[in-house]
Structure 1
């Protein structure tokens, strides 16, 4: 079935869902569009259907790594990342790595993350105004935490930040750059893993190296793939999510002031900011139908690509009353920003913590927080899985 419509859609406002989502939710819950690669994909937009696609094993993640398979992000063919595996391989990997991301371990990081967020915002206060939200907090907070988790020397941050920036581009013109960046990061992580085996350390990467269950272990390719996943999701997703959350609040001074006066509301408010966020778009959720499936009277054939639109599902009025509104105390809030089913994000608890503590530090330390430039002057990145402005100058 030919189509002239291409995805991703370009929103009129980068902080709001594309207008097309409302029409899809209302009139066309299963719609055919083209990807930048020219591949066709079925967009699934309603909350109930997105949950179904995310959880139904007839929609395969692993199949997108096959040679010639439709894909939106530049995944390696045959990737052994847990991000793109189906059971039973996914179940095996999840079992092996879950201990490294246990709730107790993440909670134990809380004091360190809070101190880091406070120190970063204090440095912004000393150097500004204006101070850049991205360089001052949104990048260094998650990337420092990931360095701590993986045991990566912080002096190497700029190198792997540059590699992962390129690797998460879906611009077809950058394919060679993507391959080169992946190779450079692979060589770096290989050396790091070898060094840890020679001199064991106390960090998540060492835990993954040692992880075993009845003699089963992660092989080197699986360790490398996990390193890619942590760097990409743990850094880029949180950086963009924090930027989107702060920009959303800056547009709403009354909400900003309410959170300053009621910091105990932050955990619930973070869930609503995640629901409302357009930082990621769920571009990595692409799947391939393994057999014929019917959704809303639409026949999805075996081999067809299917993309559950998480950001559209988070706007479904059947689940979220007044979905366009930011309701800081919205409960319940069954948003799908961290996915659903077996691929629910392992780092969800950490991501929530970083958003809560980062926003909390800004509110405490920078009274009168506001943009230092007109919002229209912000320069947004394009062609990346996680969108954000290059810089966000703040005043207070």
Structure 2
């Protein structure tokens, strides 16, 4: 019921939204009131995965306003970055990669030198901002900072983030198109699986990044753990690790007897990575081969989900992306195939790319797949 109401909220919002009238005061995802005096033309982006949100809004060129950022995409998924770079070469070359620390550390002198009229931060790094008193320092320089969230409360805040950025960047129509679609699909999934028994799910985050012999890094009640829960599963990582994230032995996974095993993957640039190369420009055969090889690791034949052929792979970067709707769809369909027979995550993904972005028509994209049946 909560999500059905959520869908209605966005539908109602869309009926009255128009072009942004500046100056405008918005409330960001940290609950801060921020005044934007004019349409931003030069922005600094703390987390490079927010490129996916910008792609939904500035469809003709999602990098055109970015003057400095942390280009995580180039390091965590070079094949996707190559696609963006080849599609928008001038703006891609212009944007300075400042390689900010993952917890929000920033060189304020470099950032100010880029002459931004907006800085975008993820809520999860708020502590670093407060510790360094950066919000007050940017305020004294007349540079507005807005905080967004696609990670801590993914399905609640990803559409809110798109709506907020749409308002700030004068892209309300584009934001509304995506958030309406998001809310409708989410409500349909929740209604279909309401009351059904929840499967136990183990998610191996960044599967294969440290090589073929490593297992298993997972998320607790954050990031992928949240998305597992939002898709209707019981995230085993929440009870297997003490902190937000951590390593779990294969023996612990075997004992936990997951009904479904999920591997998240990306074509990481790190040496020795054999992670499934999901993303834009991906090839299904390479993804399937990587998933199959990881399934055949020592001890995996004893994992319940592997024996039951309930192993799935999904694009790792979606845990921090406004496009996380695909992850929820794929996972929910894997958890409840009989309840969601009509749901087609890949068709919806292609709709999102074709209708809500300016990426090349027909660009190959593989964000998820069922692993081949393992033969040990």
TM-score, length basis structure 1: 0.26
TM-score, length basis structure 2: 0.27
Give 1 or 2: higher strand fraction: 2
